[in-house]
Amino acid sequence: MIFKQVQIQSYEAGLHFVDGEFVGVLAPGRHRLSRVFRQEKVDIVSRRNPWLEHEKLDVIARSGLLGDDAVVIDLTEHERAIVQIDGRFARILKPGLYVYWNGVRKVEIERYDARNVRLQCAYLSRIAREPAARIALDVCEVQRFHRGVLFYDGKYVETLEPGVYAFWRETVDARVVEIDLREQTLDVAGQEIMTADKVTLRLNLVATYRVVDPLKAAAATIDVAQSLYRETQLAARAVIGGRDLEAFLAEKESVADEIAAMSRRRAETLGLELITVGVRDVILPGEMKDLLNKVTQAKKAAEANLIFRREETAAMRSQANTARLLAENPTLMRLRELEVLEKIAAAGKMNVVVGERGLADRIVNLL
């Protein structure tokens, strides 16, 4: 046999090599290859796979013999490409040499300069959901009521609004620190503090705050909540440590305001707005609690005794005034006697015991 026949289907292409050199693409149909005068070889590939894959791809792509059958893409070190096949996302191409076939499937390729680290395209949200895109892209989503602070290689770039963002890998170290702008509550609990009169108490505070400067909050410290916790803790020790226990218990609201004023200055350097600080619980040692209860009971007993004596004095003064009026006015005395007899008579049966001569006559006259 001098010739060899090769059959190429309608959806196939033949990569024709002569003596190891690529000489062109054979169209669908039947072809005769010589076995004597030269060494011919045909590698048949399916064009239903839009990408040409071959061990000699670089030789084929740079030969210039593909013509209109295929498109060659050569991406440099700083270039990337997004590929859509038949209107659907397929893959992201990294730097390298690629060949895809024309005519069988619709292939669309968009080239990007990866030196512009942030990818901006109309269908970014759709691409970000594809696992294949994560190979070449760092995808970040800034949630509602949040802001994203963007850094390239540790340098601040911009503050991002809520949305989806993507950054090319292997270019710079792109990092987004997400900051919640909503009002938040911080519990400063279990603080052991000694007052000026050497009484140790346990204090629970609650602080409310929100972030007003995302850049400061991201760059000033690793954890702004922890920093604010420490500042509030130190402020509480300074304010309460300068007061006696009795003064502190009597002025808890003003103590909370002082703590807030001292902590607010530090909060501003962290990009925070400290809204309120409140004293939630004050826990005293058991013996001190008993002592305060006894003091309170003694105070209340003294107050009750004082009120009783005051009322007793007022009653005695009223009786003295009444006696003086009756002594000075016999008619009033007579009216008073009649009132007493009227009450006795209204009560029911009345027994009169006469024990003195003439007393009966006086009682009769009185009635």
Mean pLDDT in residue range 69-81: 92
Cα-to-chain-centroid distance, residue 91: 35
Q: Which two tokens stand for residue 279?
A: 């004293």
- Whether 217 contacts 224, CB under 8 Å: yes
> Strand, helix or coil at 362?
helix
- Whether 232 contacts 259, CB under 8 Å: yes
Question: pLDDT tens digits for 279-328?
Answer: 888 877 656 555 555 555 667 667 777 787 788 788 788 777 777 777 77
**Does residue 182 carry a pLDDT above 90?**
yes
**Does residue 168 carry a pLDDT above 90?**
yes
Q: Which residues, 6 or more positions from 262, have their beta carbon under 8 angstroms from its beta carbon?
A: 231, 235, 238, 239
Question: pLDDT tens digits for 211-235?
Answer: 999 999 998 888 999 999 999 999 9
pLDDT of residue 201: 83
Tell me the average pLDDT of the chain. Answer: 84
pLDDT bucket at 367, cuts 50 / 70 / 90: low
pLDDT of residue 300: 65
Alpha-carbon gap, residue 191 to 207, rounded angstroms: 14
Alpha-carbon gap, residue 34 to 236, rounded angstroms: 96
Identify the residue with better confidence: 79 or 299.
Answer: 79
**Does residue 14 carry a pLDDT above 70?**
yes
Any idea which of 27-41, 179-193, 270-284 has the lowest mean pLDDT?
Answer: 27-41
Greatest mean pLDDT among 91-100, 127-136, 308-317: 91-100
Mean pLDDT in residue range 139-165: 93
pLDDT bucket at 162, cuts 50 / 70 / 90: very high
Mean pLDDT in residue range 186-203: 84
Q: Which two tokens stand for residue 49?
A: 């796979």
Alpha-carbon gap, residue 51 to 102, rounded angstroms: 10
Mean pLDDT in residue range 41-58: 91
Mean pLDDT in residue range 86-98: 91
Structural domains of the chain in order of their starting residue, each with its CATH number: 1-110 (no CATH), 114-180 (no CATH), 189-284 (3.30.479.30), 329-367 (no CATH)
pLDDT of residue 35: 64
pLDDT of residue 289: 53
Greatest mean pLDDT among 145-149, 202-206, 330-334: 145-149
DSSP 132-184: GGGGTEEEEEEPTTEEEEEEETTEEEEEEPSEEEEEETTTS-EEEEEEE-S-E
pLDDT of residue 184: 94
pLDDT of residue 248: 84
First to last CA, the chain: 166
pLDDT of residue 160: 94
pLDDT of residue 242: 87
